[in-house]
Structure 1
Amino acid sequence: MTFDPETDLRFNRRIKAPRSVLWECWTTPEHIKNFFVPKPHGIEKCEIHLRVGGRFNTTMSVEGQTIESKGVYLEIVEGERLVFTDTYSEGWKPSADPFMTAIIEFEDDGDGGTTYTAIARHRSPEARQKHEDMGFFGGWGTVATQLEEYAQSIK
Structure 2
Amino acid sequence: MMPDLDEKTDLSFTRTLAVPRHLIWECWTKPEHIPHFFVPRPHKVTKVDIDLRVGGRFNTSFAVDGTVMDNHGVYLEVVEDEKLVFTDAYTEGWKPAPDPFMTAILLLADAPAGGTIYTAIARHRSPESRKAHEEMGFYDGWGTVATQLESYAKGLLP
Q: TM-score range by the shorter chain?
A: over 0.9
Deviation at 1:111, TM superposition (A): 1.6
1:83-105, Cα deviation, whole Å (9 max, x unpaired): 00000000001000000000001
The correspondence for 1:50, drawn from 45, 49, 52, is 52
Question: Which amino acid is the alignment partner of residue 78 of structure 2?
Answer: I
Deviation at 1:11, TM superposition (A): 1.4
Question: Which amino acid is the alignment partner of residue 125 of structure 2?
Answer: R
**1:60 corresponds to 2:87:** no
SS of 2:141's equivalent in the other structure is helix
**1:4 corresponds to 2:33:** no
Deviation at 1:60, TM superposition (A): 0.5
Alignment of structure 1 residues 31-110 onto 2, 5 Å: 31-110=33-112
1:38-81, Cα deviation, whole Å (9 max, x unpaired): 00001000010000000000000100000000000000111000
Deviation at 1:114, TM superposition (A): 0.4
Deviation at 1:110, TM superposition (A): 2.0
TM-score (norm 1): 0.99
SS of 1:29's equivalent in the other structure is coil
SS of 1:120's equivalent in the other structure is strand
Specify the alignment match of 2:134 in structure 1.
Answer: 132
Question: Which amino acid is the alignment partner of residue 130 of structure 1?
Answer: A
Specify the alignment match of 2:28 in structure 1.
Answer: 26
Question: Which amino acid is the alignment partner of residue 23 of structure 1?
Answer: W
Distance between the aligned counterparts of 2:41 and 2:13, measured in 1?
19
Structure 1 stretches of 4+ moved >6 Å: none
Superposition CA RMSD, Å: 0.5
SS of 1:33's equivalent in the other structure is helix
TM-score (norm 2): 0.97
- In the alignment, structure 2 segments of 5+ residues that lack a partner are none
SS of 1:117's equivalent in the other structure is strand
SS of 1:68's equivalent in the other structure is strand
Deviation at 1:115, TM superposition (A): 0.5
Q: Across the two proteins, how many residue pairs are aligned to each other? A: 155
- In the alignment, structure 1 segments of 5+ residues that lack a partner are none
